[in-house]
Amino acid sequence: MSESQRTNGREREREHEETESKQTEEEIEVCPECSGNLVNDAEHGETVCQECGLVVEEDEIDPGPEWRAFDSREQDQKSRVGAPTTNMMHDKGLSTNIGWQNKDAYGNSLSSRQREKMQRLRTWNERFRTRDSKERNLKQALGEIDRMASALGLPENVRETASVIYRRALEEDLLPGRSIEGVSTASLYAAARQAGTPRSLDEVNHVSRVDRMELTRTYRYIVQELNLEVQPANPKSYVPRFVSELGLSEEVERRSRELLDSAEGTEVISGKSPVGLAAAAIYAASLLTNEKVTQNEVSDVAEISEVTIRNRYHELLDVETNAAA
DNA sequence: ATGGTTTTTACTGCGTC
DNA sequence: GACGCGGTAAAAACCAT
């Protein structure tokens, strides 16, 4: 708290100084000692007074294009650095590249043995580079999975399975054409369902950076491609969370489970959205226990329409009365 | 692509506070 | 009059084929 404030203050100060020094640099082109002309000596990185030799600025960096060479003599002189770094490439262009010309450093052609060797080196270098890029990819994805998982309150083992799923997707080359975030989100969604602690598509969607369409599409895709076994979510697994979000008692939770239990295996359940069923069960249970919640409140936390709640809870209560009779 | 099923949207009427 | 609730029709989304 106070730490960050202090650093902020320091930064502001530094910025201030910088702007100031920039101004003086621009305005005063004469030596502060003898008022002689200042000369910029880029080779040594100094600004020197021509008259008295006073060094005004030291350790400047010459950003000039040292890598450019216009003839072979200059190439020899200046070839000690590479191109400037760029963020456009995943590794900022810092990884090794082996030229395609079969020439040595002096421009002489290589012997056939040397040529073969270079070809092998190119192959291996390329392999390592792509492996590195996959590592980076994975790192980012895992970070994303972690972030979303904790936002959704999902336990450690779900993150584990999510990252396993993601690794498999990566190994099977499912990533090209899909975003890292999309696949991460889909992996997490699948993992949560497999672990029996499902989160609804809407909930996952809230914490993800990708839109719903992409999420469902990539989810379907990876489930199919990886042959993931993911059975429909059990409505009961949503109940405790929704109940607590609504601030209802355990009694309501128990009744909700009972309603869902008695409806299990009937056509009332099959094909219906588990979230809708859970919401309806909770609403019905809240009526039975005289703990008032409105359909609107339930629909809010479950992110399901009130209409669906109405339809479902009638069916649930019908099953209950029929079973009793 | 298509058709069947489920869910959502939008609108309406009724009763209560 | 606002709110909760029920119902309906049509649109949209979803899913298997």
pTM beyond 0.75, yes or no: no
What digits encode the pLDDT tens for the residues A137-193? 999 999 999 999 999 999 999 999 999 999 999 989 899 889 999 999 999 999 999
CA dist., res. A290 & res. A292, Å (int): 6
A99 beta carbon < 7 A from strand B? no
CA dist., res. A316 & res. A262, Å (int): 8
The SS3 assignment for A37 reads strand
Q: How far is the CA of A266 from the C1' of C7 (A)?
A: 25
A296 beta carbon < 7 A from strand C? yes
pLDDT band at A130 (very low <50, low <70, confident <90, very high): confident
A137 beta carbon < 7 A from strand B? no
CA dist., res. A218 & res. A237, Å (int): 24
Tell me the domains of chain A and their CATH numbers: 3-57 (2.20.25), 133-226 (1.10.472.10), 235-324 (1.10.472.10)
Instruction: Mark residue A304 as left, alpha or beta (left: phi above 0; alpha: psi -120 to 50; beta: remaining).
Output: beta
Q: How far is the CA of A245 from the C1' of B6 (A)?
A: 26
CA dist., res. A141 & res. A184, Å (int): 6
Contact in structure between A36 and A30 (CB atoms under 8 Å): yes
pLDDT band at A196 (very low <50, low <70, confident <90, very high): very high
- DSSP secondary-structure letter at A324? H
From the list A200, A191, A198, A178, the residue with the least C-alpha distance to A228 is A191
CA dist., res. A286 & res. A294, Å (int): 9
Protein-covered nucleotides on strand B (Cβ within 7 A): 5-10
Q: How far is the CA of A213 from the C1' of C12 (A)?
A: 14
Q: How far is the CA of A219 from the C1' of C6 (A)?
A: 36
